[in-house]
Chains A and B, each alone.
Chain A
Amino acid sequence: MKNLSLIIKREFNSRVRNKSFIVMTILSPLIIVAMIFLVVFLSNLNREETRTVGVLDESGLFLATLEETEVLRFQFLNEADLEAAKKISQQSNYHGLLYIPGAETLEELDRRIQFFVEGSPNISTVQYIERSLSNKLTNMRLENAGVDISSIEASRSQIDIKIENYEGQQTSIMSSWIKAIFGGAAGYLLMMFIIIYGNMVMRSVIEEKTNRIIEIIISSVKPYHLMMGKIIGTTLAGVTQFLIWVVLGGIFMLIATTVFGVQMDPSTMANQETMEQANTSGMQAVLMDIARLPIGTLIVSFLIFFIGGYFLYSSIYAAIGAAVDNETDTQQFMFPIIIPLMLAMYVGFFAVIENPHGTVSVVFSHIPLTSPIVMLMRIPFGVPWWEILISMLLLFATFALVVWFAAKIYRVGILMYGKKPTYKELYKWLKY
């Protein structure tokens, strides 16, 4: 036991003191924040650009219909014919030319309206124009049929479904997205952690093999202890990194909420409903939704699922590292690791976000190789505690089984040099 803790300590230190660990830990939250700002900045930049569309309306029906918006201007070119109008549009660098020919009937008009453009048009512009024109045409037809437009306008009703969960907290479509984003981020982060830290374990096993220190060490400690020490030490380094990120993230949230002035206290939250409805800025709503997420459960589950999932995968990684002599030989054994991880990500992004408590999501959140990622993605949507518990128990039980096999391969592999093993040989090692 003393040896195990010595090994854990050494592995932990050698990870944490590594320069790339320090850089990764400090830099990546900064990079993420910078990315968010960049995305926001760029999309604002995009929105500010105004487009001018030339309009040649030979029917003369739509002059008042096309309302200008913040980003869209219309330039009517009624004196010209089509060819001249095209030329003018091109020369004046308009976004495009809308051509509405004169027509006998409204039906004829439906199909003959054209939009000329350099390259491909901006989709929202075309959609806006189509919407405006068809509204106008619909109204004209209704009028022709003798319907009173003003009474239709008056009877039009606006339904805005208020979504609340059973505990009475208000939710919205927006908050579903926020849950999906947080769950997805947690799942993705976990996958990255497994791959990055799993690779570390593998590399460190290979390093001990190529350094030839392995025989010296296992003449003092059991190979099983060495492997477990390596896995646990590296896990602790990962947990450390994650906790640092949580703290940094917490500080960032605190700054954000102070800047945008959101009341974080959950007891006052419910009373704020009326005020909220009246006057809620977008950013405030988002922050409110984030504050309502089961952040605590998410962090704790992340840690437990990270430890379980990481233990499971890294024992496979360790066995692979022991089986080969150098990193290039590991490729052939990577499939069994990458495929379940990828599967979990796809299930997470397609099944869980669509239906967090559907059969596919529930099943995959219990299968040990995919459960860490899929369950994490489900947790923001609210998963009963016993389901999480079952999933965790299955995960750790599988880990116990896998580590037993991995230890056997590890024990034989670390002393094997020179030969690139096949799956068949690995199977044989299990019986040594």
Chain B
Amino acid sequence: MNNILVAESVSKNYGNFRALNDISIQVPKGSIFGLLGPNGAGKTTFIRIINQITMPDTGQVFLDNEPLHPSHVQYIGYLPEERGLYKSMKVGEQALYLAQLKGLTKKQAKERLKYWFERLEITGWWDKKIEELSKGMAQKVQFIVTVLHQPKLLIFDEPFSGFDPVNANLIKDEILELQNQGATIIFSTHRMESVEELCDHIALINQANKVLDGKLTDIKRSYKSNTYEIGLIPDNDEALKNELSQKFSIAPAEFKSIEDELKLRIKINPGDSPNDLISYLTTKAQINHFVEVIPSVNDIFIQTVSKK
């Protein structure tokens, strides 16, 4: 597979503290890659290594099959979790400065800034100082600065914190649009619903170690337990429950429905087909609801992290 970023056995120590332990990760080109992990797991350290802010003690990182080189910064856009701008500098001036640091010429930067300012509807802010803007407004400027040099690889660390729902959605759409245009996105967050929504690949880091990585669908497949959520309207609830509990392992289920029905979670043996379960159930009761239970990223996250 074509990977834009490959980390090979990356380790990093701070004094006696091991921040990253032998991490290997591949980020496929064009993907939205979720980098997950609890606080202090080492995500930020890993991101800083990709950005060449810190150097790994051992191991190597490749961008487009080349070992990381200082000139690579212009291919990477980074929105750190702890972010801010010069308070007393004007928006436009500041954006120009940061864009030029990323290797754009002043003219290029101006043109693209004009485009983005119009796109995010902030044209009037050019001569305003950052201290005059609200936090959410400053975040928009920051987002523009991150993507302005059209990087191949975008790294967002908790991108939605500080945005109201409307602007968070706006930014989410922009991120998806950037992916459409061919950018690869690494996305570090605690907010599992946005991972679920956006990411196609994930890696889970816990206590400096990588505990899980791969395509999200593959991971989910490996975490599913052949369990189905079923809503039935039988003649006799208790009789059916008894009968089923002898054939399968069942548990009560909770889901929303408009009918007053028997809600169950049924686990079938690996290898058995759900079709058999359905044909069996049709002879016993009316089936209102039949859904395979797929573990959410949140479940997988909590399960994996607390396993340790």
Residues of A within 8 A of B (CB): 3, 6-7, 10, 14, 207-208, 210-213, 215-222, 415, 417, 428, 432
Contacts and interface: CB of A to CB of B under 8 A. Distances in A.
A244 B259 CA distance: 86
19 contacts: A6-B100, A7-B101, A207-B86, A207-B87, A210-B84, A211-B86, A212-B82, A213-B84, A213-B85, A216-B78, A216-B83, A216-B145, A217-B101, A219-B73, A219-B76, A219-B80, A220-B102, A221-B101, A415-B48
Contacts of A3: 101
A216 B80 contact: yes
B225 to A, nearest CB: 41
B98 interface: yes
Contact of B98 (A207, A215, A216): A216
Contact of B53 (A211, A218, A417, A428): A218
A124 B272 CA distance: 118
Q: What 9 pairs between A and B have smallest CB-CB spacing?
A: A212-B84, A211-B84, A220-B101, A215-B80, A219-B51, A219-B78, A212-B82, A213-B84, A220-B102
Contacts of B101: 3, 6-7, 217, 220-221
A218 B76 CA distance: 12
Contacts of A211: 84-87
A65 to B, nearest CB: 73
Nearest to B83: A212
Interface string B60-91: 00000000001001001011101111111100
Contacts of A207: 86-87
Interface in B100-146: 100-102, 142, 145
Contacts of B86: 14, 207-208, 211, 213
Contact of A219 (B53, B85, B100, B142): B53
Contacts of A219: 51-53, 73, 76, 78, 80
A215 B83 contact: yes
Interface residues of B, number: 28
A207 B14 CA distance: 25
Contact of A428 (B15, B80, B83): B15
B53 A215 contact: yes
Contacts of B76: 219
Given A6-B100, A215-B48, 16 more contacts: A7-B101, A14-B89, A208-B86, A210-B84, A212-B83, A216-B78, A216-B79, A216-B83, A218-B53, A219-B51, A219-B78, A415-B54, A417-B82, A428-B15, A432-B14, A432-B15
Contacts of B14: 432
A212 B78 CA distance: 13
B223 interface: no
A6, A216, A221, A415 — most chain B CB neighbours (10 Å): A216
Nearest to A416: B14
B51, B86, B88, B142 — most chain A CB neighbours (10 Å): B86
A223 to B, nearest CB: 8
Contacts of B163: none
A431 to B, nearest CB: 8
B82 A215 contact: yes
Contacts of B87: 207, 211
Nearest to A208: B86
Contacts of A216: 78-80, 83-85, 98, 142, 145
A98 B276 CA distance: 132
Interface in B268-288: none
Contact of A217 (B52, B79, B88, B98): B98
Contacts of B80: 212, 215-216, 219
Contacts of B83: 212-213, 215-216
B259 to A, nearest CB: 53
Contacts of B54: 415
A7 B97 CA distance: 8
Contacts of B100: 6
Contacts of B79: 216
Contacts of A213: 83-86
A212 B81 CA distance: 9
Contacts of B88: 14
A224 B21 CA distance: 27
A330 to B, nearest CB: 20
A215 B85 CA distance: 10
A10 B93 CA distance: 10
Contacts of B84: 210-213, 216
B97 A6 contact: yes
Nearest to B88: A14
A220 B98 contact: yes
B100 to A, nearest CB: 5
A411 to B, nearest CB: 9
Contacts of B102: 220
Contacts of B98: 216-217, 220
A415 to B, nearest CB: 7
A210, A218, A220, A222 — most chain B CB neighbours (10 Å): A220
A184 B100 CA distance: 44
Interface string B215-256: 000000000000000000000000000000000000000000
A70 B76 CA distance: 84
Contacts of B51: 219
Contacts of B78: 215-216, 219
B56 to A, nearest CB: 13
A387 to B, nearest CB: 42
A428 B17 CA distance: 13
Given A212-B83, A432-B14, A222 B97 contact: no
A222 B83 CA distance: 18
A432 B54 CA distance: 10
A14 B87 CA distance: 12
B53 A415 contact: yes
